[in-house]
Each structure stands twice: as structure tokens, then as C-alpha cells.
Structure 1
Amino acid sequence: MEALSRLLLALVVNGVITGFLIGAPNRVIINISHLLFADDTLIMCEADQRQVQALKALLFCFEAVFGLKVNLDKLELVPIGLVPNTRLLAKTLGCKIASFLMTYLGLPLGSASRASSIWDTVIEKIERRLVEWKRMYLSKGGRITLIKSTLSNLPTYFLSLFPIPASVAIHIEKLQRDFL
């Protein structure tokens, strides 16, 4: 993956593809062209036929040199904003088209960050765990340990991206209190 990262960076440095620019014009601008997560890769570029063709060529070269097959069945093109040539770009890459309202690595992407509805999955996970645990005979110490080690950690992953609404925090605390 380090090699793929360097190949993508070379495309950006040479102006073949443009990543996602972050920053104000009078400050340092960061160009993010790709993100790697375990065996997942997010690649960002303009909705431009030449950039997509260059990306496809890079993926085929990567396959040939390193012997790692790129699974085109899992490849998805996710347009952000109005992209009139989405079908053509997807056909060029040989991939599916997905919408930006999606779940990636368990996090809902494209939804309003302050909406309490994005926390429904966390609350459902907590409630599922509690249903299993309530069937077990546990001491008060055992219940406290489960709350601290598991229930308190379930929202942590979501908190890395989304602020928790007060109503959701109160609801989670109530579930924990009722279990205790």
C-alpha cells in the first residue's frame, strides 16, 4: 500500500490528477489525493475523463508490477455535487456509481453532522448488548465493568467525526443507569 500511495502522490505532484484541496487561499493548502485504511483506499480526483483514465492506468500498472489484483467489483465512483458525466467516468473505470449518503467503515458519510439520527446505530448496538447482558446473572461490579469497558466505548468511534447531541448523550446515560 505504501507503493500505491507513492504512485498516487507522483500523479499529483506531476499534475496528472488533482486531489481534494483543504485550506484558505491565504493559508497553507493541503492537497489530499488518497486515504488508506487497512485494505480500503479512497482516491479523490476531479470529475475529468483524463484524470480517471490516468487513475485506471495507474491501477493496472500497480496490478502488473506488484501482482495485487484490484477488485473492480468493489470499486465505487462517488460523485460529490453535480457531475454530468458520472456514467462515462464509471464506465471508464469499470465500476459502480454510489451516492455520497453512504456508510464507510461504519460511519455515515454525507449526512448532517449534528443530526441525532446518525446516532441511531450506536444506540441500537448498546440496546442489543444490554438485551444479552440482562439475561445473565451479573453482580453490580460485573455490570459496572461491562459499562466501562464496552458501553462507554461504543460511541467513541462516532465521536471522532461527529459531535454528540445532548439528547443522545442523555439517552445513552439513561440506558447505562437502567442497566446498572
Structure 2
Amino acid sequence: MLQWKKGIFQYHPKCHQIKLTRLCFADNLLIFCKGTLGSVIGVQSVFDHFYLMSGLTLNAAKILELESIQSISGIRNGELPVRYLGVPLVTRKLSETDCQPLVDKIQARIRHSSAKNLSFAGRLQLIQAVLFSTCNYWYRQLILPKSVLQRINQLRSRFFWKGADASASGLE
């Protein structure tokens, strides 16, 4: 039977204000707790009970935890922010730095050799099908800074009109 002591679990310091303990994505579960031995033992005891009831087991390669607790749980050390499916998981408002991988991905698509010789129609199709989809993946989950949105629109506009990431006048 599960032995659960009241107060053994403590919130992760960056998750306490919003009372975040877990996030579920598809078939993955992320657990957030304070990196104390007591909290991890509490979480581990719940997992052990779950394993007995369900027959499922933990994939420790997907979970990041404190190194000092590794001998008990087999879970590795990690820090926030982390990326999940390419999107940053942060407990604060996104910064331009957090969104740089999105901008880099768009620039890589524009600079790819297959995009250099496209007609206007081909560029429009690439913008609508690929670049909007890449951005929408982030838009649906996060509120992006206005400066990042402006940069993305600038990249799409320059690519459409010039076929590259260059200003319309060629000066910049």
C-alpha cells in the first residue's frame, strides 16, 4: 500500500507561484518538484505505486533531475528552461533569445538551396505551406514577443519580394 506523508512534496521554485506540478504532452509526462531528497522520494513512491498498478515503467532518459538524487531514482540533472519538441518551456514571458531557434529555422528554410530559384508563386507557396506552419506551431502554444513577430514578417516579406533575406534596397 502507498505510504504518503503530508507535506513531503515541494514545488519546484520556478513553478510554485502557478502551482505547476506536471505537464503532459502526447505520451510524455514532465514532473516538476523541488530538488530535495524528500520531494523526489515522494514522487518516486507515487511512481512505484503507479508501476505496480499499471505495469508501465519510467523512461528515465526523458526526465531530468538533480544529480545528488540519481542514486535513488536513476534520474538525471536538468535546469529550466528546457525545450520540448523544439519549444522552450519557461515560467516567464518569452524573450527574443528564447525565440531565436524559431527565427533560425525560418532563415534556414529561406536560405536552403532549393528555395533560391523559386518563382513568385513558388515562394508564396513555400511561405504559406512551410513558414506559416513552422510559426503556427509556436503561435498555438506561446505568446511571442512583438519584436520576434516583426522579424519573422520581415524575413517572409524579403524572401517573397527578393528571394532571399536581403533588404529591398540591398542596403543594410
Look up the match of 1:4.
Answer: none
TM-score by length of 2: 0.68
Look up the match of 1:17.
Answer: 9
Look up the match of 2:20.
Answer: 32
Could you list the runs of 5+ residues in structure 2 that have no partner in the other structure? 161-172
TM-score by length of 1: 0.65
For the 8 Å contact 1:34–1:41, the answer to whether it is kept is yes
Q: 1:120 to 1:91 in 2, by over 3 A?
A: same
Percent identity for Structure 1 against Structure 2 = 22
CA displacement, residues 4-49 of structure 1 (integer Å, 9 cap, x when unaligned): xxxxxxx79x6553555446xxxxxxx4322211122121334443
2-side partners of 1:143 and 1:174: how far apart? Answer: 14
Greater fraction strand: 1
2:103 pairs with one of 123, 144, 147: 123
1-side partners of 2:10 and 2:94: how far apart? Answer: 30
Q: 1:114 to 1:54 in 2, by over 3 A?
A: closer
Residue type of the partner of 1:141? A
Could you list the runs of 5+ residues in structure 1 that have no partner in the other structure? 1-10, 24-30, 78-85
Deviation at 1:53, TM superposition (A): 1.4
What are the equivalent positions in structure 2 for 1:128-139 lying under 5 Å apart? 128-130=108-110, 131-135=112-116, 137-138=118-119
2-side partners of 1:46 and 1:170: how far apart? Answer: 38
User: Are positions 1:149 and 2:129 aligned together?
Assistant: yes
User: Are positions 1:163 and 2:151 aligned together?
Assistant: no
Q: 1:115 to 1:46 in 2, by over 3 A?
A: closer
CA displacement, residues 126-151 of structure 1 (integer Å, 9 cap, x when unaligned): 1222224424544x334323212321
Residue type of the partner of 2:64? E
CA displacement, residues 83-130 of structure 1 (integer Å, 9 cap, x when unaligned): xxx443333222111122432231234597453222221122112222
User: What is the RMSD of the two structures over their aligned residues, measured on CA atoms?
Assistant: 3.1
1-side partners of 2:117 and 2:64: how far apart? Answer: 43
SS of the aligned residue for 1:76 comes to coil
For the 8 Å contact 1:101–1:110, the answer to whether it is kept is yes
